[in-house]
Amino acid sequence: MTAKWSVTKIVGDHLRTLVDDRKTRKPIRVRDILAFYGLPLLVLVLIIIPEFNFSWLAGVPGYRQLAAFRVNGLEGILSGISIYTALLFGLLVQIFQIKSRYLDNGEYSSDAMDLNDALEANVSYAVLTGIIATAYLALVLATTVKDNPAGRIPSGIIAFLVVHLLVTLFMILKRARSVYSHL
């Protein structure tokens, strides 16, 4: 990818925050990777697996309900995700202002700056995820007959993106509290 629109640094910076202690350079926690990617992937698989009609699953409790799952109200979901993404972008500006205040005053600890940098990486990643989810939802909406639910595979992908964004937002909330406690 060209450097002007490459998102690899955003993803890399976010992944580097998935450690217990950045100062000791501990490796990324597998548990965090499972939470951020495994949980949404599990939701995706559970939603799309009936598409492949594995008859041996028919006796599993909840399989029929899962087989009937489709995302409805695509317009509302698209609106919600796009608004949330815009609000996250506003939060990104706020994080920049906090860092500027730290640097201008000269009154900051390395811990506070590290937390602020981690928060910036996580919010940037959430904005990226929101942009991808918004674009995908717009594509699904454009290719789905009005007032009809999305297909099973698009429903699974939408669920993956929404769950992934929610888990990321939970981490942002926790990090924001940590940053503000260091002000």
This prediction's pTM = 0.85
Q: Phi and psi at residue 7, in whole multiples of 5°? A: -110, 10
CA–CA separation, 75 and 158 (whole Å): 13
Task: Parse the chain into domains and list their residue ranges.
Answer: 8-181
Kindly give the confidence (pLDDT) of every residue in the chain, 183 residues in length, as a single tens digit, with 9 standing for 90 and above.
Answer: 567 788 899 998 998 888 866 555 667 778 888 888 999 998 888 888 776 666 666 677 777 777 778 888 899 999 999 999 999 999 999 888 878 877 787 766 777 788 888 999 999 999 999 999 999 999 999 999 988 999 989 999 999 999 999 999 999 999 888 877 876
pLDDT at residue 133, rounded to an integer: 97
